[in-house]
Amino acid sequence: MGLSSYSNGIYVDRIYQDLWIKGAAMQVGGRGCKERYEAIAGHFSTLQGPLKVLDIGANMGYFSFRLAERFPGHFVMIESSNSTTKRLLQLCLMNANPQISFLATRVNLAELEKILIAEQFDIILALSVIHHFDEPFNDIVKTFARHAKHVILEHASPEETHCPNPARIKAEPLNLTPYNPIKLCTSTATGYQHIFRDVYALKGSIEESRTAPPGLSLQTYAQHSGLYPHPTLLNPLLKKHQNKELLRIVNGEIRK
């Protein structure tokens, strides 16, 4: 999730995702993004919006920024790496998309489940992130599916020995059968030509007819170190309201 990557198993210091600013990739990262985005966006096109999306381990926010430019809804990014969060905040400010929110927080599965229950997302983006969790990988996928209509999942290959928890990746193969998986695309792993990661669309347990509450609650924003919209932008808006526990951030505005 940070800025480092590997080339043929050798550590190099560079960005992971492409840097996306208002309709264009300004810098290419170490992991291919465009093809995965096109496959994911194609799946989004089959769904009815507006869509409320949680992007876990958002890194440079490439997927959320691009999807938020194309689809109506609200896109909440979670990222915890200190070096990454500073840069991601800059990118949020430069993109200035009111459909974006950013929580600079590290969550375990129990904490994440509280957010999922409170916010009721339509889609969870979990791209190469579950191997960063300490909990059993299949438990993580089950939790995602239980609290969303759809899950976009990408998982590291057991051959990627440089990844966090490489032994667990091999020892805990994912069982995606209960979620009617659809393979959206396959791309090479970071820095390798012979190791691949698949991106799947999984069917969650939440009914399509359910309508998620709009935007992001101010309570979730405050409890999980919200950085965007930046507090300096929110503070003038908050002065107009008394009961802050019921407020939500919707399209860059504060609403009840």
How far apart CA 203 and CA 180 sit, in angstroms, is 6
The fold of the 10-255 domain, in CATH, is Rossmann fold (3.40.50)
82 φψ region: left (φ > 0), alpha (ψ -120 to 50), beta (else) = alpha
SS3 60: coil
Q: What are 213's two structure tokens?
A: 């509450």
Could you read off the pLDDT tens digit of each residue along the chain, which spans 256 residues?
A: 333 444 434 334 468 899 999 999 988 888 889 999 999 999 999 998 899 999 999 999 999 999 999 999 999 999 988 889 999 999 999 999 999 999 999 999 999 999 999 999 999 999 999 999 999 999 999 999 999 999 999 998 888 877 778 889 999 999 999 999 999 999 988 766 788 999 999 999 999 999 999 999 999 999 999 999 998 888 887 877 766 678 999 998 898 8
Which residues are CB-contacts of 236 (< 8 A; sequence separation ≥ 6)? none
User: What is the per-residue pLDDT for 6?
Assistant: 42
User: What is the per-residue pLDDT for 192?
Assistant: 67
Tell me the backbone φ, ψ of residue 54, rounded to 5 degrees. Answer: -110, 125
Which residues are CB-contacts of 8 (< 8 A; sequence separation ≥ 6)? 191, 192
Q: Closest Cα to residue 92, out of 230, 224, 220, 223? A: 230
User: How many other C-beta atoms can be found within 10 angstroms of the C-beta atom of residue 27?
Assistant: 12
Give every strand in the sheet of 216-217, ordered side by side.
216-217, 248-250, 253-255
pTM, 2 dp:
0.91
Distance of CA 189 to the CA centre of its chain: 18
